[in-house]
């Protein structure tokens, strides 16, 4: 047999559906070598990799997902546990993690924590782990997610998305607090002295947009007024916008997300306030519709897709090390930076008409 080539003759015991033994026989290598090639658990020489790849192609071999799971004692799959599963940011994180998992040949599943009680946490974790996933990603947005994370066995590779720095050994964080600070500093830099902040409920951590707003106001020597917390019903934000239109000294509003910003603009306009002539409004997340709004919305762009992809890659590094019997990677907290996107909804303050 020529070096780097495999025989085109099929194995003598050719089955209608080829199995891993057929691949090994045709490639002239052992079954464990083929298994290592498929699982990526150890290095296989370039020559053997080429032979195995050719044999797989000639036989049209399809690796058995279940068989590999039995060999590894776990499935080539990962599960992401998340609350606020219907939020845009959550779906973007999920999308990034799923695409990264698919690129590595892993199945990806999402388990929603929305609405579960403290009593249901253990049974939820048990259901997830009963499928023998290779690892778990937890997306932190509330206290339930934190409780779930703390109950996952340490033997299971895990990555935390969000939370406070140091909440988990392996962690990927968006630049939430930094983004809140940057966008507030931008508004202050335009000359506004009272940047009002409106936000929804935020996670129990020290990496929130509201804390970034406070950081910027404090650094500027401005006594920050209490932020307005609103719910998911956008009518609340519309009504708040109507009230803010009549408050003295309000020339700039930093909304914690783009939907809230647009609802506030509607409320301001209902009362005759012009945006940005009378009141500047900035949002957060830079969703697609932000650039198409009238006026186009200044916002802070968060790359949530990259956040999800980074979380999976950090998890995959743990999975590979565990399967190869090697030391786990050093603990890491990776920050995914965002950027300020300036559009026409913000401007320097002008006297009210």
Domain borders along the chain are 1-63, 75-175+305-337, 176-301
Residue 103 has pLDDT above 80, yes or no: yes
Question: Where does residue 293 rank: exposed (0-12), middle (13-18), buried (19+ CB within 10 A)?
Answer: buried
Angle between helical axes of 304-324 and 88-103 (0-180°, round to 10): 40
Give the model confidence (pLDDT) of 239-288 as tens digits. Answer: 999 999 999 889 999 999 999 999 999 999 999 999 999 999 999 999 99
pLDDT at 63: 67
In this structure, how many other beta carbons lie within 10 angstroms of the beta carbon of residue 116? 16
Q: Which CATH superfamily is domain 176-301 in?
A: Response regulator (3.40.50.2300)
Q: Within 13 Å and on the Cβ side, how many CA atoms surround 167? A: 28
Mean pLDDT of the chain: 88
CATH of 75-175+305-337, one of 3.40.50.2300, 1.10.10.10, 2.130.10.10, 3.40.800.10: 3.40.50.2300
Residue 20 has pLDDT above 90, yes or no: no
Do the domains 176-301 and 75-175+305-337 match in fold? Answer: yes
Residue 149 has pLDDT above 90, yes or no: no
Residue 13 has pLDDT above 50, yes or no: no
Q: For tokens 């802070």, name the residue.
A: 300
Give the model confidence (pLDDT) of 180-190 as tens digits. Answer: 999 999 999 99
* pLDDT classification of 71: cutoffs 50, 70, 90: low
| Rounded-to-integer distance, Cα 230 and Cα 206, Å | 20
* Topology given in CATH for the domain delimited by 1-63: 434 Repressor (Amino-terminal Domain) (1.10.260)
| Rounded-to-integer distance, Cα 198 and Cα 201, Å | 10
Write the DSSP assignment of 96-123 as a string of letters.
HHHHHHHHTT-EEEEEE-TT--GGGHHH
Residue 16 has pLDDT above 60, yes or no: yes
| Rounded-to-integer distance, Cα 169 and Cα 126, Å | 22
CB 94 within 8 A of CB 78: no
Side by side, the strands of the sheet bearing 332-336 are 107-112, 75-82, 133-139, 158-161, 170-174, 332-336
| Rounded-to-integer distance, Cα 148 and Cα 81, Å | 8
């Amino acid at each position: 047999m020529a070096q780097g080539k495999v025989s085109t003759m099929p194995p003598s015991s050719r089955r209608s559906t080829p199995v891993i033994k057929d691949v090994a026989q045709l490639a002239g290598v052992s079954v464990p070598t083929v298994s290592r090639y498929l699982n990526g658990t150890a290095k296989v020489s370039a020559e053997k990799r080429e032979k195995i790849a050719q044999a797989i192609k000639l036989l049209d071999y399809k690796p058995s997902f279940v068989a590999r799971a039995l060999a590894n004692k776990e499935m080539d799959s990962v599960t992401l546990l998340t609350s606020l599963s219907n939020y845009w940011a959550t779906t973007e994180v999920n999308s990034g993690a799923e695409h990264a998992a698919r690129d590595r040949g892993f199945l990806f599943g999402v388990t929603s924590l929305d609405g579960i009680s403290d009593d249901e946490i253990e049974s939820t974790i048990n259901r997830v782990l009963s499928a023998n996933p290779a690892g778990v990603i937890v997306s932190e947005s509330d206290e339930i997610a934190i409780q779930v994370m703390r109950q996952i066995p340490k033997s299971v590779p895990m990555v935390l998305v969000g939370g406070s720095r140091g909440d988990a050994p392996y962690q990927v964080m968006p630049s939430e607090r930094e983004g809140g600070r940057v966008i507030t500093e931008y508004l202050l830099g335009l000359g506004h002295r009272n940047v009002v902040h409106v936000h929804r409920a935020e996670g129990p951590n020290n990496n929130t947009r509201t804390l970034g707003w406070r950081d910027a106001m404090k650094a500027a020597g401005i006594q920050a007024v209490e932020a307005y917390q609103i719910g998911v019903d956008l009518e609340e934000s519309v009504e708040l916008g109507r009230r803010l239109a009549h408050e003295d000294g309000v020339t700039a509003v930093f909304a914690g997300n783009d939907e809230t910003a647009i609802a506030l603009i509607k409320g301001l306009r209902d009362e005759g306030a012009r945006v940005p002539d009378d009141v500047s409004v900035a949002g957060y997340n830079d969703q697609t519709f932000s650039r198409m709004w009238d006026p186009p919305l200044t916002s802070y762009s968060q790359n949530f897709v990259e956040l999800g992809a980074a979380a999976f890659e950090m998890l995959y590094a743990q999975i590979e090390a565990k399967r190869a019997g090697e030391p786990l990677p050093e603990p890491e907290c990776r920050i995914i930076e965002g950027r300020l996107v300036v559009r026409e909804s913000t401007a320097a303050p002008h006297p009210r008409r």
